[in-house]
Structure 1
Amino acid sequence: MCAGTRPWPGTTRRHRAVFHDELAEMLGVHVNSITNSVSALRKAECVERQRGALVITDFKKLKNVAENLIVKK
């Protein structure tokens, strides 16, 4: 687990790692990309973790972050 992160309620490190590994495989990216992206979205206060799930808390902010990523490319 990275420094400064807290465990997801109701999950173990193994559960979190499997989730990140599975998501990375589905998207065709490295697992570190998933971890870094989730951390960035949490810092932007777009998403939060609830009971082992990633929940969108502010769709407008999330949409803005996504649009900014598209424009930068």
Structure 2
Amino acid sequence: MVRIRMHLSFIDRTGSHEFEVPPGVVDTLPEFLDIHGIRSDEIGMAIADGRWKVPRDIVIDEYSVIEVFPHLEGG
């Protein structure tokens, strides 16, 4: 089981802070996020098992925890 943790505005958009994804349900992080209405270009940062990763390269079943952050804005 893979845990996908959403952060900041993604929590409001998906309605949850954390999802548990059984093996084989979806293949890649962009595929999972698309199901929840989040486009790949909206991802500011993704961390898989504590390491920064390029979101499009994340194959969900290869990790135990994936954290997803939107682009940070402010000034």
Return the TM-score normalized by structure 2.
0.25
Work out which structure has the larger RCO, using CA pairs closer than 8 Å and 6 or more positions apart in sequence: 2
Structure showing the higher helix proportion among its residues: 1
- Specify the structure having the higher radius of gyration (Cα): 1
Structure showing the higher strand proportion among its residues: 2
Return the TM-score normalized by structure 1.
0.25
